[in-house]
Structure 1
């Protein structure tokens, strides 16, 4: 049974047979039948975690446990509004918080960052992703956009674009010098621009 727990760069949670390289948490979103209800979060601490930590074993969507969400890679998680976990990814969390301070002028706690991110990532009533416009060539590595030609998610990486896919990224294509819809929340863009290095899928190795 393929569970509905794969998060897309566009924010939707869907059922795909490919787990991806990262896990996340937004609280308990599933019922006793391992099905999602209407809720897409239970708290504002949307985190991105490693798949393995201290030998802990979990059965996805167990009763009473948080709903394990999965992402292709970290740029996908960031586009969906998540941030590094302060426990299993302590070093990455501290790097993210340091870049947040450089970008936004204040050392923020996790709850403070979560509150800002929540306003920037999702419309509370409609539960739809918040998007904005920017020139593609001004965006930092790790940002996600909708490609203006295909309207499909694409990753900004080393001055080019890579179309997102369920199992990895397509080869690089030139980045257009146009306005594009940006999926990555504005506060996270600032963090990327301030030097936080998002970890892309292994399909980009060598690119």
Structure 2
């Protein structure tokens, strides 16, 4: 097994379970298919598994490292966003709703996506490599976001929590009896969800 599956904390893990989306953080493996670093680029993207009949050999030397996600919600929690090449429509919609949800930055449609990537990068990982989280009222978290509780990741959907696992979501549980929870999904992405972007969630298909 290769260390190429991404969990909601942004960690790269090994699992036999397959993913529904592919991702990219640049070339982060060596010639022996060993992960050397968590990322190389600030643009962490979410790609289609298939695009224009292209075929890639996983973790080829000196080629960007193929990463995989259970669903789009997991990818967003880890700090990724839609690719402008293979997912142009989704990427454009995400940018529009990100701008709508984050007006404090003063960005517009002509703002480069790299500017947004820089903000998301600060919100997903700190300099020492730890996952960035923020506290939010349990009743103010939109569907598609991930929260952490007792070191586990949970998807927020339909006013309940779904525990994440590499192969799929487990039986739903109620929100804990607390006022605030730690949110894994980057803050500006949460704001984009509030503005109307609803990520694909494997739980919605079950």
State the TM bucket, normalised to the shorter chain. over 0.9
Distance in 2 (CA, whole Å) between partners of 1:19 and 1:45 is 23
Note if 1:16 corresponds to 2:10.
Answer: no
Distance in 2 (CA, whole Å) between partners of 1:113 and 1:130 is 17
Task: Indicate the residue corresponding to 1:157 in structure 2.
Answer: 157
Match of 1:61 among 59, 62, 86: 59
SS at match of 1:115: helix
Distance in 2 (CA, whole Å) between partners of 1:63 and 1:151 is 35
Q: Which runs of 5+ in 2 are unaligned?
A: none
1:160 deviates by 1.1
Root mean square deviation, CA, Å: 1.3
Task: Indicate the residue corresponding to 2:92 in structure 1.
Answer: 94
Distance in 1 (CA, whole Å) between partners of 2:98 and 2:6 is 24
Task: Indicate the residue corresponding to 2:26 in structure 1.
Answer: 27
Paired residues of 1:72 and 1:168 also in contact (CA < 8 A): yes
Task: Indicate the residue corresponding to 2:190 in structure 1.
Answer: 189
Equivalence map 1:122-161=2 (5 Å): 122-124=125-127, 126-147=128-149, 150-161=150-161
Note if 1:6 corresponds to 2:8.
Answer: no
Paired residues of 1:137 and 1:177 also in contact (CA < 8 A): no
Taking structure 2 as the reference length, the TM-score comes to 0.93
Distance in 1 (CA, whole Å) between partners of 2:42 and 2:25 is 7
Distance in 2 (CA, whole Å) between partners of 1:18 and 1:205 is 17
Taking structure 1 as the reference length, the TM-score comes to 0.92
SS at match of 2:164: strand
How many pairs are equivalent? Answer: 200
Distance in 1 (CA, whole Å) between partners of 2:46 and 2:157 is 20
1:177 deviates by 5.0
